[in-house]
Structure 1
Amino acid sequence: MKIRVNRDVLADAVAWAARVLPSRPVVPVLAGLLLEAGEDLTLSAFDYDVSAQASVEADVAEPGSVLIPGRLLAEITRSLPADTVEIVTEGAEAVLTCGSAEFGLITMPVEDFPTLPQMPPAIGAIGGGVFASAVTQVAPAASRDDTLPMLTGIRVDIDGEGVAMAATDRYRIGARDFTWRPESPDVAVSVMIPARVMVEIAKSMRGGEVSVAMGDGVAGFESIGRRTTVRLLDEQFIDYRARLTHDWSIKADVRVAPLIDAIKRVALVAERNTAIRLSFSQGQLLVQAGGGDIGRGAESLECELRGDDIQIAFQSQWLLDGLAGVETEFVRLNMEGPSRPAMITEVTGDADPAFRYLLMSLRRPA
């Protein structure tokens, strides 16, 4: 194999594909990045659960394929000077040259690299910005505990032009509804996709239109020359919609950016995982934290309250995760009592909010 390729293009593609490489591969070849040169250059990574492929333009003098340690290649290409990169295979070595820099990398046996899963049939498409926004809003509510795989995923329900995403770790629920362009108006799909994979896909594909594919226990996503497949989780999930449907007796509207800033400031005197206390009264919200060995902090904000005065407490980071998903100027906190869950929504006038974040309160706000 002998190719020449733009340094920035190569470094970007290598970094994108290498993100799925396992830190502890079950077999050595899974740590490799497969480079295949034909009409263009394709880079592939696979860990049996997630695959990634990126295609880039390259000047191919001699077609061929080579398997190179992926993380090392990512570090090298990121550090190369701004010049054209040449890669040539010589026996068991891949020689990478860029300007005055040269690296000889020991290759791995291409024939041992597993066959990547085929991309399933496309079922629709969505703008990368909307897709990234939805994933970013719901993913923080997914659990990081792999002992309950169902809680580590994002539930995706597709019904015609409507898509609903949701995630939960049992203490909170993040949900977002949006529309997309289905291949068929009667498409109906319900799947569970690992949240960590969805986050990476959303970050890397937010710049273009994302084609979504489903079939045979695999989900596929493709945009601007990049393709990812991921093995689906078990479809079992809670009935989260029932938990988000409630006639809240207390509603408070607050500017979201000042509220986030206030929580971060007063949390400086709070011990890790202790409560942020929110005291709502007519026209005012008092944000408080601390009071132990470190000290205490308090800050007041304007708010519009409908219903009775209330004091309620939340775990600070979980509260911030929900507020970070709000894309309107004001956030609405829907409450029922100090020991009951509260729901964060955007303030959208008469329209139903597309984003909802249900959060357990701490039972001792004082």
Structure 2
Amino acid sequence: MPKSELMPIGAFAQHSGLTPSALRFYADSGLLPPAETDPASGYRYYSADQVARATVLRRLREIAMPLAAVEAVLGAGADEASRLVDEHVAKVVEDAAAAQQKAAAIKSVLGDIPAHLIAELKGPVLADAVEQVLTAAADEPGLPALAGLCIEADHEAITLTATDRYRLTTRTLVPARPPAQPWVGTVSGDELRVAVAGIRRSALVRLEAVPHGIRLRAGDRADRLCRLLPGPFPDHRLMLASLGGVTTRVTVAKELLLRALEEQPGGERIALHVADHEVSMVSADDAHPGVALPATVSGQALRVWFELTTLYPAVSSAIGPDVMLDLRGEGRPVTIRSADRGDLTTLAMPIKHDHSA
């Protein structure tokens, strides 16, 4: 290839995002040899066709992939390369989780501060509650507390709360053994999800507060440490206290409501239309009226609009065969809970109709 069609190493570095020193290293390792090397000067030249390979190589190294694995990815077909990348990322995530656990264990003993009891709870009950409430958690840049579970303990109850700003779910549990003193903290949702399997298989789980986290102790199983997340948790108690009066109350079969939400055409945004003895759904363009569901209704007729991604998980996480919806008017938060159990409650934020057009 004529040198006029080749790039010197400096120009190729600018096109690929790799430094000249990195290009020399990858050339010597055989991962990215230059298209041509001047035998007299030793200058290295690259072709435009090599930019794509160099860019992939750079990105693989940015996710800390070892050279041997990089070589395997670059030499594989698309399906095998994707599998190798997924395998590497899974290993990185697993190693990071293990490091977090070890770091939490180290921090828990620094300064010789003793652990104190938060509560003792039945393992299967706690596992179910964690899974139900964490459906409302979310990863939001700059708001790490939204990815966690707020745990509040007092002498009467343990309250678990999570929110993604559009939905808030809370559940109250009665401890087998209450704490000696109140405790509040926001615990990593990801680490609690990992701990759920062990919690569920334990008859009794002891929650202990340690520096920077909580420790879950369950019989002869290994202790699990879950980190506290930085930043304040949203003031959900203030929001709950300022909800206002209920104008319409609806009780409807949970499975029927979920099926109607699943089958409603064009369902990114859906309105619940509440009238005498029934609930129906309407899609955003009003062109797809839903099936009317039998319901017990008290109060005024009302139509409230929701994002499906807000309403569906709020209903699906409810306990029991029937759900109760407390509506407060268009644009006001809706309370969704089990008709016969009030210890799991979800607030779902509606949207304005003109936002759905």
Q: TM-score range by the shorter chain?
A: 0.5 to 0.7
Counterpart for residue 239 of structure 1: 235
Paired-residue identity, %: 20
- Contact 1:51/1:230 (<8 A) preserved: no
Q: Distance in 2 between matches of 1:52 and 1:237?
A: 23
Q: Distance in 1 between matches of 2:160 and 2:193?
A: 13
- Contact 1:281/1:310 (<8 A) preserved: yes
Q: Distance in 1 between matches of 2:184 and 2:106?
A: 27
Q: Distance in 1 between matches of 2:214 and 2:150?
A: 12
1:155 aligns with one of 134, 150, 157: 150
User: Counterpart amino acid of 2:213?
Assistant: V
1:52–1:228 distance in 2 versus 1, CA, 3 Å? farther
1:31 aligns with one of 89, 95, 103: 95
Q: Distance in 2 between matches of 1:175 and 1:229?
A: 22
- Contact 2:117/2:208 (<8 A) preserved: yes
Query: Are 1:229 and 2:221 matched, yes or no?
Result: no
Query: Are 1:355 and 2:344 matched, yes or no?
Result: yes
Query: Are 1:214 and 2:282 matched, yes or no?
Result: no
Q: Distance in 2 between matches of 1:361 and 1:31?
A: 40
Higher normalized helix content (fraction of residues):
2
1:343–1:123 distance in 2 versus 1, CA, 3 Å? closer
- 1:154 CA drift (Å): 1.0
Matched residue count:
259
Query: Are 1:279 and 2:273 matched, yes or no?
Result: yes
Query: Are 1:175 and 2:226 matched, yes or no?
Result: no
1:193 aligns with one of 166, 187, 192: 187
Q: Distance in 1 between matches of 2:222 and 2:273?
A: 48
- Contact 1:275/1:289 (<8 A) preserved: yes
User: Counterpart amino acid of 2:348?
Assistant: L
- Contact 1:138/1:175 (<8 A) preserved: yes
- Contact 2:251/2:295 (<8 A) preserved: yes
User: Counterpart amino acid of 2:95?
Assistant: A
Higher normalized strand content (fraction of residues):
1
Query: Are 1:313 and 2:309 matched, yes or no?
Result: no
- Tell me whether 232-241 or 126-135 shows the greater mean CA deviation: 232-241
Counterpart for residue 282 of structure 2: 288
TM-score (norm 1): 0.64
Deviations 1:45-69 (A, max 9, x none): 722x33599xxxxxxxxxxxxxxxx
1:283–1:52 distance in 2 versus 1, CA, 3 Å? farther
Aligned counterparts, 1:1-366, within 5 A:
23-24=91-92, 31=95, 46-47=98-99, 49-51=100-102, 117-118=108-109, 120-182=115-177, 184=179, 186-208=180-202, 209-223=204-218, 224-234=220-230, 236-245=232-241, 246-266=244-264, 269-270=265-266, 274-289=268-283, 291=285, 296=288, 298-348=290-340, 353-364=342-353
- Contact 2:137/2:149 (<8 A) preserved: yes
Counterpart for residue 63 of structure 2: none
Deviations 1:56-84 (A, max 9, x none): xxxxxxxxxxxxxxxxxxxxxxxxxxxxx
1:177–1:115 distance in 2 versus 1, CA, 3 Å? closer
Counterpart for residue 79 of structure 1: none
Q: Distance in 2 between matches of 1:171 and 1:341?
A: 9
Is there any run of 5+ residues in structure 2 with no aligned partner, and where?
1-88
SS of residue paired to 2:194: helix
- Contact 2:319/2:344 (<8 A) preserved: no
Is there any run of 5+ residues in structure 1 with no aligned partner, and where?
1-20, 33-44, 54-113
- Contact 1:161/1:181 (<8 A) preserved: no
SS of residue paired to 2:129: helix
Once superposed, what is the RMSD of the aligned Cα atoms? 2.9
- 1:337 CA drift (Å): 1.1
1:51–1:334 distance in 2 versus 1, CA, 3 Å? farther
- 1:153 CA drift (Å): 1.3
1:324–1:215 distance in 2 versus 1, CA, 3 Å? same
Counterpart for residue 70 of structure 1: none
- Contact 2:319/2:337 (<8 A) preserved: no
- 1:288 CA drift (Å): 2.7
